[in-house]
Structure 1
């Protein structure tokens, strides 16, 4: 019988190589598992403003696939606009450190719809050329990464300063594999949901027209 003696240093190097190979394999499998099993967003996970069936379907359609999502709503609860035009609310959708989408609503004076639209698109290079309109409030606008609605809320004489509308804006920061048509439809659905919620909790007295 022939006995071959292998120096100890070669045994150690071989063990390290096997360990490194296994580690790389585990990391690769973990990464693949997360992308192959994206989380499905449910109404119980979402903000109140984006919890309708229509909004949940839109979120799952337009956001990138991630293994987890977090929703932050500010401020929680309802606020009356009977004596003040300072109502605002927002929802932020994140995954780890990435902001994926935001939905904001705030009270403002009821300026002409075109003025509101121009202010909304200010600083967005070429934004006006990408925008189409949809029926919501006195005006609804949508592009591939933004949708907004200008919604009647309080008539003149109720709050100092004139009549007031809600400006509801949804900004898509990161899009998944959705087509352009799906992205636009999803943003409209999210805006309508957020506008309906804001109109209700702010106790608007004018018809929302959404």
Structure 2
């Protein structure tokens, strides 16, 4: 093989062109973290938001499982890796306080209010962490 041929293969490799292109890994519903909910909708959402990687792995954990109303804590975590890099971390944590009253809000108002608080907290964290990717969260 001549120098020009080797250089040509090197360029193909660097550009990720055939026969050296990297294949995008598959995100299978059967492999995603069960703590993220419905596996089919979770897999579809992950396919939309995660960067292309040749392989994905999922680490799912549940701690302090609440077995009855006397248990005061519950926690889950899901870590998603692609090609050895962490791409996503999703954690939940419930701590039951004695704040069982929520005023006169309806269930729909409570859900909307809590979603708004979670979105605002995410926006605040995104800004304070000086993330370089633009936030796609709405106010």
Q: Distance in 2 between matches of 1:142 and 1:44?
A: 29
Stretches (4+) displaced over 4 A: 29-32
Ranges in structure 1 where 5+ consecutive residues have no aligned partner: 1-13, 113-133, 148-172, 186-210
Choose the corresponding residue for 2:91, options 104, 107, 112. 104
1:96 Cα deviation after fit: 2.3
- Are 1:46 and 2:23 an aligned pair? no
1:19 Cα deviation after fit: 7.5
Q: Give the conservation status (yes or no) of the 8 Å contact 2:32–2:42.
A: no
Q: Give the conservation status (yes or no) of the 8 Å contact 1:50–1:56.
A: no
Q: Give the conservation status (yes or no) of the 8 Å contact 2:77–2:90.
A: yes
Ranges in structure 2 where 5+ consecutive residues have no aligned partner: 101-108, 124-130
Q: Give the conservation status (yes or no) of the 8 Å contact 1:69–1:93.
A: yes
- Computing the radius of gyration over CA atoms, which structure comes out larger, 1 or 2? 1
Q: Distance in 2 between matches of 1:174 and 1:71?
A: 25
Q: Distance in 2 between matches of 1:135 and 1:42?
A: 34
Q: Indicate the structure whose relative CO is greater, using CA pairs within 8 Å and at least 6 residues apart.
A: 1
Q: Give the conservation status (yes or no) of the 8 Å contact 1:81–1:87.
A: no
Match of 2:72? Answer: 85
Choose the corresponding residue for 1:139, options 114, 117, 126. 114
Please give the residue correspondences for 1:48-197 in structure 2 after superposition, counting only pairs within 5 Å: 48-50=34-36, 52=38, 53-75=40-62, 79-82=65-68, 83-110=70-97, 136=111, 139-140=114-115, 141-142=118-119, 146=122, 180=136, 184=137
Structure 1 vs Structure 2 CA RMSD: 4.0
Q: Distance in 1 between matches of 2:86 and 2:42?
A: 18
Aligned length: 115
**TM-score, normalization by structure 2:** 0.58
97 and 136 in structure 1: CA distance in 2 versus 1, 3 angstrom threshold: farther
